[in-house]
Amino acid sequence: MIRIKFACFAYKFGKNRCSIDRTRALLAKTNFLRSVNVRQYSFEYDVSEKDLHVPVMAQEVLTYMDPSPGKIYVDMTFGAGGHATKLLEHSPGVKIFVLDRDPLAYECAKDLSQRYPGQVVPLLGKFSELPQLLKQYDIKENSIDGFLFDFGCSSMQFDVAKRGFALSKDGPLDMRMDGFRCPEQITAADVLERATEEQLARIIKIYGQEKRAKKIARAIIDVRYMCRKLETTKELAELVESTLGGEIRRDSLGRFSHSATKTFQALRIFVNNELNEINYGILLAQVYLKLSGRLITISFHSLEDTIVKRHISGNITDNVANTVALKYANRGKVFDKGEVEKLTETPWKMMHKHVLIPTAEEIQANPRSRSAKLRVITKVK
């Protein structure tokens, strides 16, 4: 039986990061989760649309995954199937277990499994649910040739207004990647309605890396005092924009970026417990991969990438990323050789010297790829 401690993932922010998980637990303990009103709405999306999702850095994935007949892979973030389809087209003899927590993505996966019978196995669930899902197929430890993670939201989640992920489309403040699969799960609107000012500021600062988190949290609380509820993406986006005085921000390409982008990111990560799931998913990949099996990760912001780097460097203890820098600890203590070796013990080896990023041509063709960072590691023990 696979047993991995699913611990509070305290990586860069130490006690602040742990306090976020305590906030989640506290809200649940005070009947927060049980008092959520389940919002029943439906949405339509054409899962057969060819340009449903453009896979990021697909050629790099093919090159490093090196698919060949008879190999078994797990696509942990299926989405609309862009990467999985590329692997199947490149090497028809492969078998792929495709996982996604989104019911809509699961429907896409079932559609792909009909086109490639016996080669595609759809799985509905989170990273942490993988062992139970694979058990029915008698998948053993050390038996998978490759794992692929493409973190963050898929294009179809952003493109459907009623999912509440995109601030450019007016819809309910939902943001649950699981949709209605887990009706007890909190929504972004629930967080904004029930969390304290301190909790909101912490969530927005840590998960959104928003420097003006306290001011935004204060504005959200002020709305409550006016007996109003923030229920739509438009309402939240306008509130943050007015709170920050119309502050103009730009992305890494110098293009206009809405001032509420980081707040939306923070709420989405908190609602879906994304960072803990990423940490757990990489630990599971280590268990299931064969020796020399490959793990490919594509991250889109520093929070995700930091988790991957912690695993690569071995700076992880008891399944929790170590918050202590290797050079300095306990007020200037310098680690001896044995301590450094213990702290940096890792089953992974990098397959390239520097992080890989999209080409200028890909960014031009697919702007959503602009912040992608691809890392490839292989299991060595």
Query: What is the structure's pLDDT at 56?
Result: 94
pLDDT value at residue 318: 57
**pLDDT score of 331:** 44
> How many other CB atoms sit within 10 Å of the CB of residue 206?
21
Return the pLDDT at 12: 44
| pLDDT for position 333 | 55
The Cα–Cα gap between 275 and 80 comes to 22
pLDDT at position 18 = 58
For the whole model, what pTM was predicted? 0.82
Coil/strand/helix, residue 49: coil
At residue 183, the pLDDT reads 80
pLDDT of residue 334: 59
Q: Give residue 247's pLDDT.
A: 75
Token pair in block for residue 85: 């389809």
- Position 236 scores a pLDDT of 95
Residue 355: other Cβ atoms inside 10 A: 15
What is the number of residues in the chain? 381
Q: What integer pLDDT is reported at residue 180 of this predicted model?
A: 79
Q: What are the residue ranges in the chain where pLDDT is below 50? A: 1-15, 29-51, 324-331
Q: What is the pLDDT of residue 167?
A: 84
pLDDT of 25: 62
pLDDT score of 279:
93
Spell out the domains of the chain, with CATH numbers in brackets: 58-150+274-322+346-379 (3.40.50.150), 159-272 (1.10.150.170)
Residues 28, 186: Cα–Cα separation, whole Å: 9
